[in-house]
Copies of this chain bind each other. A is one copy, B any other.
Amino acid sequence: MNIGDVSARSGLPAKTIRYYEDIGLIKPLREANGYRAFREQELHKLAFLGRARALGFTIEDCRSLLALYEDKSRASADVKQIAQAQLDRIEAKIRDLEAMRETLSHLIENCAGDHRPDCPILEDLENGAHLVKASE
């Protein structure tokens, strides 16, 4: 299998696949002409990676997960721990974004959005500016 086939079948761009080889996530063989020769094994791993990345795991998480995936005697607790850490990060991020959403949507609601210069959005940003600490 050439990289184009693997790309089509895994859904990952060829560039990304080359990059994953670069950083050692996969190790495809080479044909005599220098082309990468992928086995089902690598295709499998790439799809695994695509799914894990879609769930927001970092590349380093993926490296660990892939190692556990290959290790048939792994403990599920190891996997669960990585997944739980990722879930925690996701939940923290959601909370951050929700706070931003609240602030922004209130500001937007209160902005006339017309030709006049009065704007509660800028006023709020400026308020940030007024929170500047006094020099002591």
Contact between A121 and B75 (Cβ–Cβ < 8 Å)?
no
Contact between A132 and B74 (Cβ–Cβ < 8 Å)?
no
Q: In the assembly, how many copies of this chain are there?
A: 2
A21 within 8 A of B: no
Contact between B132 and A68 (Cβ–Cβ < 8 Å)?
no
Minimum Cβ distance to chain B for residue A135 (Å): 6
Contact of A125 among B11, B52, B90, B105 (CB under 8 A): B52
Contact between A56 and B128 (Cβ–Cβ < 8 Å)?
no
Minimum Cβ distance to chain B for residue A6 (Å): 9
Q: Which residue of B lies closest to A119 (CB)?
A: B76
Minimum Cβ distance to chain B for residue A97 (Å): 5
Contact between B116 and A68 (Cβ–Cβ < 8 Å)?
no
